[in-house]
Amino acid sequence: MFMKLPEKALRDDLYICGIDEAGRGPLAGPVAAACVHIPLENKNMDFWGSVTDSKKLTAKKREQLFPLIQKYSLTGIAFSSVEEIDKINILQASLMAMERSYFNMIRNAASQKFHALIDGNQSPKRLPCSLETVIKGDSKHLEIAAASILAKVSRDKIMLELHHKFPCYGWNTNSGYGSKKHLLAIEKSGVSPHHRTSFSPIKQALAA
């Protein structure tokens, strides 16, 4: 059951958007973020009843929901690269991707009056709108849940593409996370250009 809309947004007549990221923990690949605003007239679509935290859904269900969310919402999807992650750290890179997703979303918005709900306890500093952070927001607000699905599916698609170029790491199944197969492949085949060299297991592999 999702929470009611924030009082500030209702009081100030602001549009709600939800922002979430995917891919902070993996050892390889970019971090993704998505921003979603659901117009009120589209909230009665039946499929919204299946939208929840992306981690609670199967890959097949996420793939089914992805085009529906995009069709009936204003959306923005963005990434921060491995190079950016290694330069400014994963937290700041995640927040940067969130900012980019917001700006991608408002390109198609008729109004700029938004209130952003950010999953987690950290927020981007340069969003030109009011905002609040929500711990476990992808289980509390529909907009954040929808954003979590877009971010997850978008990132998984990139990791699948990278898997075809570097199949030894098993990114088609582990999405870049430090699974046993992934770590063994790093030990055997070394580090790829898509690994995050600022992450401890990759640092150790390079040192070895």
CATH of the domain at 105: 3.30.420.10
Positive or negative, the CA dihedral 14, 116, 76, 146 is negative
Domain range enclosing 118: 7-158
What is the pLDDT averaged over residues 113-135? 94
Q: What is the pLDDT of residue 3?
A: 67
Over the stretch 131-178, which tens digit does the pLDDT of each residue have?
999 999 999 999 999 999 999 999 999 999 999 999 999 999 999 999
Whether 185 is in a domain gets the answer no
Residue 48 lies in a domain: yes
The span from the CA of 42 to the CA of 59, in Å, is 24
* Residue 109 banded pLDDT, cuts 50, 70, 90: confident
Residue 171 lies in a domain: no
User: Of 120, 113, 124, 116, nearest to 139 (Cα)?
Assistant: 120
Which residues contact residue 98 at a Cβ distance below 8 angstroms, ignoring those fewer than 6 apart?
19, 21, 33, 35, 78, 118, 124
pLDDT of residue 10: 58
Whole-prediction pTM:
0.94
Sign of the alpha-carbon dihedral angle for 85, 90, 91, 94 = positive
pLDDT in tens, 11-47: 567 899 999 999 999 999 999 999 999 998 999 999 9
Taking the CA atoms of 154, 157, 158 and 159 in sequence, report the sign of the dihedral they define.
positive
- The count of structural domains within the chain is 1
The reported pLDDT for the residue numbered 108 is: 83
Domain assignment present for 173: no
Within a domain: 36: yes
What percentage of the chain has pLDDT greater than the value 70? Answer: 95
Note whether residue 186 is domain-resident. Answer: no
Handedness of CA 132, 133, 135, 139 (dihedral sign): positive
